A and B are shown apart, each in its own frame.
Chain A
């Protein structure tokens, strides 16, 4: 070797590189977590006013829903302890932005939030449906696991039918393709959710570990959820290395779950028009569904190097309170001429007499799609489209 120092050096470098490559960090796959977060995103640019830990927060928001949630019902009973807890949780502001104690009380009374506390035990593993929330717009619940000493609840193993690209023989893939009998006991597999015996179809959902609580698994279904006010909810979950399925049947009955308006009112400025299909208000959220058509109106500033973004919608009650959107998307592209909007906002305070929809656009730099005025506390400078404003009266 001594005669060939160069070659030795190369071998040495190879060894170093190999060492880097094979650094074996004891890491669970984050793929499910990432997919959950991608869940309700489009291939668009999401607000960049994110702080370092924003992803955790995002996940947290999603899961707090479930923590608080419980629609349960059975009896529609919420223990005083839970009611007290709900009010104390400081995160409540985070989740139900603008929600008052009264609203939470109302949610509990209406059966929107409840705690079924149903548990099933098989082979030493206990799963409990702790909390359930259903307000007509989202269905979420939390499963608590007991009798298992594993850091995570969600199964890291790949399903048999999972699609694999690349080298199926790689160590990594192999480590996740484990025969049922060789898996660690006690991981929760993705639950099957049935309503009146039919599997639920939902546009978006979150499944997985609760980011802050140990031994808890969260499910949240949102968007395009079409469920009646009363139904029988069945949750079927399998746990690794446990033969029997963990099945829960919970009658859900929500009264006045939300005020649902189907105004079907349109507004047009000749070029651009939109029709409000639905406006739902529950103690935990407000949902706006509308269709728009036509080219986005541009202001005098929105020309040359700048252009108008897609049309966004702001909801304001009769007291001037602006509802906060649950998410705000930015797009690196010219707006389309047709949109179907289905968006969640914070709940209304009290019982407003009307809700005003204020369409607006942002001003976008054509070069890099950056938004004028966007910053820490601003989605960007809004250009309100006054001609397109619409007020929807709410009957008391």
Chain B
């Protein structure tokens, strides 16, 4: 996507940490910049887990508000980004837990709804995600949206880094199997979508 300029990521991280310090010192308005920085990828992450725009909107708002409310607890051990996503991860898990109670009902309702129009990216990603377990989805999405390392993902999800790596390998094989099974069609979709940008 964006070419990595050496030092750029580090500089950005420091800039974010500096803004967080300002907010912790009482400069509430600076939080606006934080939201703008993260909201788009946060939306993507939440959306692929929740698969519903209205819920995603609520979730994204709740996550940013929760993060703000807990900001005084944030200390610079992990990056702010990983800390924020950790909160998001737990929030999503909670939502899913609550949802599962109503799952049957929701599934039933879904059948009766017209198929939503979705972009090409979305439909491909969507389909691929259906082959993964909930945990695998989180790993893939976290690696994708913010390009986190296995260490960062392990921090967010509370797993060992080696475990995350293993699980990622497993999900990669799963997806590759799927793609080769479906043969050229899926392959082209992936490549084609990739090429459009």
Contacts and interface: CB of A to CB of B under 8 A. Distances in A.
Interface in B159-197: 172, 175-176, 179, 190-191, 193-194, 197
15 contacts: A9-B176, A13-B172, A17-B144, A19-B194, A20-B121, A20-B141, A21-B41, A25-B47, A25-B122, A29-B36, A34-B39, A55-B65, A165-B33, A167-B8, A170-B2
Contact of B121 (A19, A30, A35, A53): A19
B: interface residue count bin: 35 or more
B38 to A, nearest CB: 9
Nearest to A21: B144
B12 A167 contact: yes
B110 interface: no
B64 interface: yes
Nearest to B16: A165
A31 interface: yes
Contacts, number: 148
Interface of B: 1-2, 8, 12, 15-16, 19, 24, 28-37, 39-41, 43-44, 47-48, 53, 57-58, 60-62, 64-65, 68-73, 98, 119, 121-122, 124-125, 128, 140-141, 143-145, 147, 172, 175-176, 179, 190-191, 193-194, 197
Contact of A55 (B28, B58, B70, B73): B58
B165 to A, nearest CB: 13
Instruction: Identify the 4 closest CB pairs spanning chains A and B, nearest first.
Output: A20-B144, A17-B144, A31-B35, A43-B72
Contact of A38 (B12, B28, B48, B191): B28
B36 A164 contact: yes
Contact of A23 (B68, B73, B119): B119
Contacts of B179: 12
Contacts of B41: 21
Interface in A24-55: 24-25, 27, 29-35, 37-38, 41-46, 52-53, 55
A382 B9 CA distance: 49
Given A13-B172, A25-B43, A29-B39, A20 B140 contact: yes
Contacts of A41: 65, 68-69
A127 B33 CA distance: 29
Given A35-B31, A170-B2, 4 more contacts: A15-B194, A23-B119, A158-B36, A165-B37
B128 to A, nearest CB: 6
A178 interface: no
B58 A43 contact: no
A45 B31 CA distance: 17
Nearest to A56: B58
A170 B12 CA distance: 12
A165 B12 contact: yes
Contacts of B33: 162-165
